[in-house]
Chain A
């Protein structure tokens, strides 16, 4: 009799203990959201990043491994604003996991919590790869992480109420550190204010808007179209009237068009990490912005 009670006791303890120690299983579409989730959850989450900063987040294969990871996820954390429209819906459908379906508490879109830039007044594929909800590359304005972190921490504690206190505490310390860091970055970036830049892809409105840089031209004739020789030549002649200090491209992009124009127009080609893991320095969210601003400042020289 006592033996059975002890066994029962062990089981009871086992089940009581489980919710407190079970990590929240998170599937994040891009590495910046994996990094933010890590900041907010610490060791209370098991986080999987579906893509790396060296991959084009517009075009990702709906790989079997991604479907398998989504099958067990309690939460997906993605950019939204149609950035993942070419691959995420397939993964969610194939995963057979209704907890992370669009509209469910387990489905989190970061773009929902920030003010979107470049919301097009007309949506037509003749204009290239435009997103009806606005430009989806929201992760390059550090200030955007504050409302997103608020929302993400709230969502985590909704899905994992046992650890509410933990998420609230980590959110509070993240907010403090991040606000301090933003002040530091803004001070460092003061020389960038008012400077003109070229961009390879229309990926930097949030960064430029935050730091007060001006975009004079894009190397892609239409967003998402490979830069053509004819368009590059046109940009080059345009630079004579409106000069720029540097040309920006992301680590996942082919740097050749930037290098081509940089050489001819005698300006600096700057490769930005674009997300966490885009280069050796951008190993977490703080590193991403430390490195981005350092590279932009180096681009002025």
Chain B
């Protein structure tokens, strides 16, 4: 009993001591409050010029417009698919002579204290309007959580989330062209969580209907058409170096995926599972990237597809099993050797793999190719300001057997209006 009283006293002791200094603290707190009031008044006095605009204009969202144009020169037909990737997309995004590139119109603003909205429209040269992004994201979940709903570029890999105006080359790496149709877009949900650690550790999960390739835009069930999982890690090494690395998984069930290949129309249904690793390392002396900086990045993706391929869907359809594991990677570096001037080098390689082709199909669909698609690209660009860039790109393309080609591009990329910061 006595012991219990002792413990009770021990419990109360700090509370009593607390009360003794309470008065003193209260008076200091009052002083602080008065000071704060004074400061707020001073703030109002000094910002006489800063009256917020009144009326309908005062809630204007941020609007940005990116303009680009490309001149292209090459000799081989770019529509011919990459050898060994006949069933994959081949949207290279360029044509000969002068062409208007894709313009991007972006609108974003906070919706209310909980949500922010972002929309990016692609104004295509031919006159179409595409909805690239249209999503809402939470701004107040806290604890490192960010939730996106709507249409967005998937957070997998490194390049996938970057908009075209921020690319370091005129076109995407071959592995992005064939594996993700240049950029994987999804309609669905994305949840990201940032760990409360000194180093950067971000985990992300996405579910969607499988809008972008290799998803097949499924409308036949109520579940998810595709899921993606990824983790990104990053940190600084001293003041001059910083890096980010990641791993990604993407899974979808493909249903009636159509492809023009082997001179006829084909259709594939089956499971598709992709894994990838990515890294980027940036260096700037003293971390001052305005003067000179260097960037090295690379990504590797591998995809396993397993299912039924139907050959010649419009003539006499021949269905049989088909499975293949394909992979591809690129490595690129960009060096800003003086303010405003940069040079870049990129190497691409794909591996079409050895397919297991059902006996019915073996006469029509090749199982393997004795050819490794590669491509080397050299780039120079000059940026008169942070809002404008002029680029020259030379490409040696050996991605199609017996169709090697040299390509030359000149490009401008400019942005006007609100221009928020870019991600790392």
Interface positions of A (Cβ within 8 A of B): 2, 5-6, 9, 12-13, 16, 51-52, 54-56, 58-65, 67-69, 71-72, 85-90, 93-99, 101, 112-116, 119, 125, 128-129, 133-134, 147, 150-151, 153-155, 157-158, 161, 164-165, 167-169, 171, 224-226, 252, 254
**Contact call B32/A90, Cβ cutoff below 8 A:** no
Point out the residues of chain A lying under 8 angstroms from B47, CB to CB.
112, 116
Residues of A within 8 Å of B32, CB to CB, are 153-154, 157, 164, 167-168
Q: Is the CB of A65 within 8 A of B36?
A: no
Q: List 5 A-B contacts (CB under 8 A).
A: A16-B14, A55-B288, A94-B423, A98-B142, A226-B339
Contact among B31, B49, B234 for A116, CB-based, below 8 A: B49
Q: When the two chains form the complex, which single residue of B24, B145, B194, B424 contacts A63, counting CB atoms closer than 8 Å?
A: B424
Q: Hey, which chain A residues are within 8 Å of B243, CB to CB?
A: 64
Complex CA gap A67/B339 in Å reads 26
Q: Do A67 and B194 touch (CB < 8 A)?
A: yes
Q: Is A62 within 8 A of B46, CB to CB?
A: no
B339's closest neighbor in chain A, by CB?
Answer: A226
Given contacts A65-B199, A147-B42, A158-B36, contact A52 B239 (CB under 8 A): yes
Task: A87 to B419: give the CA distance in the assembly, Å.
Answer: 11
Q: Is the CB of B291 within 8 A of A254?
A: yes
The A interface, classified by DSSP as helix, strand, loop or mixed, is helix
Residues of A within 8 A of B420 (CB): 85-86, 89-90
Any A CB within 8 A of the CB of B244: yes
Inter-subunit contact B29/A157 (CB<8 Å): yes
A113 contacts B28, C-beta separation under 8 Å: no
- A160 CA to B263 CA, complexed, in Å: 72
Contact in complex: A65, B200 (CB < 8 Å): yes
- Least distance between A219 CB and chain B CB atoms (Å): 13
With A13-B14, A94-B423, A96-B194 in contact, do A54 and B288 touch (Cβ < 8 Å)?
yes
The stretch of B3-11, B210-218, B266-274, B313-321 in contact with A is B3-11
A125/B290 contact (C-beta < 8 A), A62-B423, A96-B142, A151-B43 known? no
Q: Is the CB of A101 within 8 A of B139?
A: yes
User: For chain B residues 187-222, which have a beta carbon within 8 Å of chain A?
Assistant: 192-202
- Distance in angstroms from B23 CB to nearest chain A CB is 11
Chain B contacts for A65, CB-based, 8 A? 199-200, 234-236, 242
Q: A65-B235, A98-B142 are in contact. Are A164 and B29 (CB under 8 A)?
A: yes
Asked if B360 CB lies within 8 Å of chain A CBs, one says no
A168–B422 CB distance below 8 A: no
CA distance A168 to B31 in the complex (A): 8
Contacts of A97 in B (CB 8 A): 142, 144
A59 near B28: Cβ-Cβ < 8 Å: no
Q: Is the CB of A59 within 8 A of B289?
A: yes
Contact indicator B421/A89 (Cβ below 8 Å): yes
On whether A98 and B287 interact (CB within 8 A), knowing A16-B14, A87-B421, the answer reads no
Let me know if B196 and A71 touch, CB within 8 A: yes
Q: Does B146 contact A (CB under 8 A)?
A: yes
A6 to B6, CA, bound (A): 11
For A55, list chain B residues within 8 Å (CB).
Answer: 286-290
Q: In the complex, which of the residues B39, B143, B416 has the most CB atoms of chain A within 10 Å of its own CB atom? A: B39
- The contact string, 1 if C-beta is below 8 Å from chain A, for chain B 161-201, is 00000000000000000000000000000001111111111
Contacting pair B140 A98 (CB below 8 A): yes
Contact of B200 among A59, A68, A115 (CB under 8 A): A68
With contacts A62-B422, A113-B46, A165-B28 taken as known, whether A101 is within 8 angstroms of B194 at the C-beta atoms is: no
B287-320 vs A, CB cutoff 8 Å, 1 = contact: the mask equals 1111100000000000000000000000000000
Query: Is the beta-carbon distance between A96 and B423 smaller than 8 angstroms?
Result: no
B424's partner among A13, A54, A62, A151 (CB-CB below 8 A) is A62
A87 contacts which chain B residues (CB < 8 A)?
421
Instruction: Write out the residue numbers on chain B whose beta carbons fall within 8 Å of the beta carbon of A225.
Output: 384-385
Q: A52-B239, A64-B199, A158-B36 are in contact. List 16 more A-B contacts (CB 8 A).
A: A55-B289, A56-B288, A56-B289, A59-B290, A63-B424, A64-B243, A65-B199, A68-B201, A71-B196, A89-B421, A96-B193, A112-B47, A115-B46, A125-B416, A150-B39, A224-B386
Bound CA–CA A9/B116 (angstroms)? 45
The complex places the Cα of A113 from the Cα of B145 at a distance, in Å, of 32
